[in-house]
Structure formats: C-alpha cells, structure tokens
Amino acid sequence: MGSTSLVSASNSVHKHNVFVYGSLLADEVVNVILKRIPQSSPAILHGYHRFSIKGRVYPAIIPVQDKNVTGKVLFGITDPELDILDAFEDVEYERNIVHASLIDTCDEVQTYTYVWKEKNDPHLFGNWDFEEWKPVHMNDFLKMTTGFVEELEGPESKPRVETYETFYQQSENPPMP
C-alpha cells in the first residue's frame, strides 16, 4: 500500500510582489513593519505620478498619463505581511494590481501597489522626493512607525492615520507641506 502525503491548505503560503515608492523605500521602515527586509529590485511604474501631500511627510500616487514613478518591488510578501501593509496604508490608499518594469532586467512584473483613493485631492501637489525625505523626516517617521507596529500588536490598535496624526501633534516640529 502506498503512502499519500497530504499538504494542508494552511501550509500553502501565497507570496506577493508589492511596488513601493515612498517611506517604504527605506529598508529601516520596512524592517520595523515586517520584521525583515525582503528581496527587492528597483522598478518603474508607468502611467502614475508621485505627489507630495500637504501636511503629510509621505507621498501619494495616482494615475497620470505619460508620467512614471521610480520605486522598488518587494518580493515574497506573505499574506500576513500584506495584511500588515494594508493596515499601515490604512483608509487613505487602495491596494491595486499594476505592472511594474524592473530596472535591472527590463522584465515586467505584476505587483500590488497602494494608490491614493482621492484622485482629485486638493492637498496633492508637486513631486515627492525620497532623497530629500530621508535626512529630514526618516528618524521621526521610524519612531511613528514603531509606535504603529506596537499598537498593531496590542489589543486595541489604532488606525495608522490616527497614529500618524497623534505622533505628529505631539512632536515639536510638525511636518510642513
């Protein structure tokens, strides 16, 4: 009699790709949220523009013809990690399926990304630049993100937007537009 190996559905793990373009470009922020730094590759998302948001230190993307957003694709994101990213992006963003071009190989990959829900938001302006963001905002953003993760793991977690607003209201230097 032959033996049959059964693999339960709980053992099958879905892996996802996620295109990131803002604070999640910083490995330090990703590590706080996911407790690891996944494999990644620089990528371009065609047909979108990355905006600054008045009163916020993080960006938003929305579809804009003939524009591109440079970011990176995080590979091997698990379902629980995707849930954490959904909570982090909160109600301001919606997770969409897009196609990004990997810069190193020119391959196109299907990936999730988080798109700003309010396409006509009057608070969106200009361009958001990661290299400008890092020295000015990353340390405080890491503190806020650590607080968010601690809250998320607690019994009564607050939404990320509330965590963000509470953190920056308490800080001596609120973000400037």
Q: For CA atoms 121, 149, 163, 129, give the dihedral sign.
A: negative
The helix-helix angle for 27-34 and 79-89 (nearest 10°) equals 110
State the amino acid at position 170 in one-letter form.
Q
Are the CB atoms for 74 and 38 separated by under 8 Å? yes
Please write down the long-range contacts of 106-111, taking CB distance under 8 Å and 24 or more positions apart.
109/17, 109/43, 109/73, 110/17, 111/16, 111/17, 111/18, 111/19, 111/43, 111/73
Q: Which residues are marked as active site?
A: 89
